[in-house]
Structure 1
């Protein structure tokens, strides 16, 4: 396929398929907020509302309104979602719950800092779309809380016994690399640069272990490898997603050395994580080749593949490394053949190792209106940049 064909495909899938699926099926007109547990046809099969997925959908429709088209229905969806979150989403300490009933009654305590991360993202994006200072204040307040909690994100809800095997997880520093760019317009410039610098250093110098060629999910508090189930754990999707976050940061200062390092890590991660027998990227692996603790280790997940596509396409854009393009085409083919539902819309989320549909859902507790639309938007816009870069290079060659 040509760049033009890829651009048309991603744009069409986003605007004519994925976004209508959520706009038509997920809105709760009675209570506000969104239903995310949707069957393959878009019917609601469970009414619990998960805060981080509510926030992700607010972010998605705000982003589309800002970046694609000032469609009033998109902004209305985002603002109604935000109103539900403002009314029901936080406890007395202003920490964000994990889940609510459809009416907004708390179900699961505010144990998970990722609810806060995506709340900050959602309200920061919505503040951009509306210039509403109250949204900006919620975003700032939540971000401040994240920074205060980041060294002990689970607090009293942590199950770990202190002092025996103290580990630090990769998810939060990875998300912070992206979150700080989302909320940059609301923060002091020095704080932004400090958080970015620390985030990049943590990702590429601490969790990335060159002796293995991959990013680990957990390291000890001295930033060293820990020989345990948790310490040996690799989530290839997390590693790959983080690399496009870091490339976006590196692009700000034209740090070509950091971009090259991200590309090398990405290629190494794909080689490690790719299922040579069946195709697709494994969900979890043990860095030493032992059986992973997670029984779902060999599943193929939607978000892993769309994030990997973004990463190698950005890698190709910045470096022209043909290996990135070859991986992009390989990933696109697998993803389009296995995840995309041409009949009912949106994408399936969970495949077995052989690439067969494992769960015929389009949304649930973990899958909502986020990775697919964000991924399609990123692929569409990155491919446009690839096309423009090739055009510029061609013109320069003619003129030289």
Structure 2
């Protein structure tokens, strides 16, 4: 067993360091105008030059994180700096809210309609400030974080399309990202503020969004945690639910809360049993809890990030609890993930498969796929496997 885990640790490590990071370092950095190109085809050619704030900030975070936790390589810090300087200059409107998209030169294209741009800005500039010692980056991180706290009850603000008062629903995405973000920001927050926010988000996720009867994590519930019988109210997003659970485990291990850790592992296993495609393998993108047709036409696609976040959650669950079913599921998801998303002929991984596991798009980066889920998951799995072996 130990040798198998050692071999897996080497696989994850070598793929990260020799395949994934070099691809983005070579093809994505816009040294002329700042920031990054994320729309990259199978061979690294740029097919669109727009710059999406989520992905720009995620790339700053990832390079800064590797600089801080892996190796203090100047080229990684320089790449992070290239993005941080670009976004510090062009990323926000006059009120300090982060846009969704810019053109190549930094002119705004899409309004700041959601707080997730601010979430990833806070993550990015916190990690970059830690790497660079830049006081300005620290201020930007805190300003973005305070934006998130201020807007968490109404994430879309004036850009919310829903008619007020008719069907009020809150989304799992807000507390789950706030939990992870707060852990990321812990070196900038007072211990009291950190503990209060972590406690509040854990309570909300594990009480309001977790359904006690099915053991599944719902994507939307009413403000008081009830279910509504409609498309959004019945929606299960397996990837989100599983990713949220490794965030919960990460928080719970700080206080050695084994009950909470085991509860999170239970949810991961429940979601996998519900969301696994028994005919073609892999994890569905969206599901209806009652088995009705989901409104998302892409519901039965297989996405890279869903499988990668699942690998992280399963290894973390096994490391913290020793439960054998975590390792059994890990091997199953690992085999599917490496057999379908990894590109044996070119660098980086595919992102989108059809239900049968055939590649739908040969992109390696786009509007939603950037330098984040693949490298983060490979790094976290490598670290877990190294510990276990």
Runs of 4+ in 1 over 4 A off after TM superposition: none
CA distance in 2, matches of 1:384, 1:190: 33
SS of the counterpart of 2:47?
Answer: strand
Cα distance in structure 1, aligned partners of 2:295 and 2:198: 32
Partner of 2:64: 62
Contact 2:304-2:341 within 8 A present in 1 as well:
yes
2:234: which partner in 1?
232
Local SS of the residue matching 1:92 = coil
RMSD value, Cα: 0.7
- Map 1:307-326 to 2 at 5 A: 307-326=309-328
* CA distance in structure 2 between the aligned counterparts of 1:76 and 1:93, rounded to whole angstroms: 28
User: Deviation digits for residues 343-388 of structure 1, max 9, x if unmatched?
Assistant: 211110000000000011001000000000000000000111212x
Q: CA deviation at 1:204?
A: 1.0
Question: Partner residue of 2:381?
Answer: 379
Map 1:73-88 onto structure 2 (within 5 A). Answer: 73-88=75-90
Q: Secondary structure at the match of 1:359?
A: coil
Which runs of 5 or more structure 2 residues have no equivalent in the other structure? none
The aligned residue for residue 144 of structure 2 is 142
Q: Give the conservation status (yes or no) of the 8 Å contact 2:122–2:145.
A: yes
Superposed CA offset, 1:217-250 (max 9, x none): 1001121011110000000000000111100100
Match of 2:208 among 206, 209, 215: 206
Q: For 1:264 and 1:223, how far apart are their aligned partners in 2?
A: 20
On the 8 A contact 2:31/2:82 being kept in 1, the answer is no
- Partner Cα distance (1:304, 1:366) in 2: 13
Q: How far apart are the structure 1 equivalents of 2:4 and 2:150?
A: 47
Determine the structure 1 residue equivalent to 2:370: 368
Q: Describe the SS at the equivalent of 1:215.
A: coil
Post-superposition Cα deviations, 1:28-47, rounded to whole Å, max 9, x if no partner, equal: 12111000000011100011
Q: Secondary structure at the match of 1:275?
A: coil
Which runs of 5 or more structure 1 residues have no equivalent in the other structure? 388-400
Other-structure match for 2:30: 28
Q: 1:18: Cα distance to partner?
A: 0.2
Cα offset for 1:342? Answer: 2.4
- The 3-state SS of whatever aligns with 1:358 is coil
2:45 pairs, out of 43, 64, 89, with: 43
Query: What SS does the aligned partner of 1:252 have?
Result: coil
Deviation at 1:203, TM superposition (A): 1.1
Alignment partner, residue 390 of structure 1:
none
User: Which one of 286, 289, 292 corresponds to residue 291 of structure 2?
Assistant: 289
The answer to whether the 8 Å contact 2:175/2:204 transfers is yes
- Conservation of the 8 A alpha-carbon contact between 2:208 and 2:224: no
Matches of 1:151 and 1:382 in 2, distance apart?
Answer: 35
Partners of 1:30 and 1:310 lie apart in 2 by 36
User: Which residue of 258, 261, 264 corresponds with 2:260?
Assistant: 258
Q: Which residue of 1 aligns with 2:195?
A: 193
Alpha-carbon distance in structure 2 between the residues aligned to 1:112 and 1:342: 37
TM-score (norm 2): 0.99
Q: 1:62–1:125: 8 Å Cα contact kept in structure 2?
A: yes
Q: CA deviation at 1:74?
A: 0.2
Q: Answer whether contact 1:280 1:331 (CA < 8 A) is retained.
A: yes
Are residues 1:352 and 2:324 paired? no
Partner of residue 110 from structure 2, selected from 108, 111, 115:
108
> Is the contact between residue 212 and residue 287 of structure 1 (CA under 8 Å) also seen in structure 2?
no
State the TM-score, normalizing by the size of structure 1.
0.96
Distance 1:386 1:204 in 2: 28
Check conservation: 1:42, 1:362, Cα contact below 8 A: yes
SS across alignment from 2:232: coil
> Structure 1 residue aligned with 2:94, among 87, 92, 95?
92
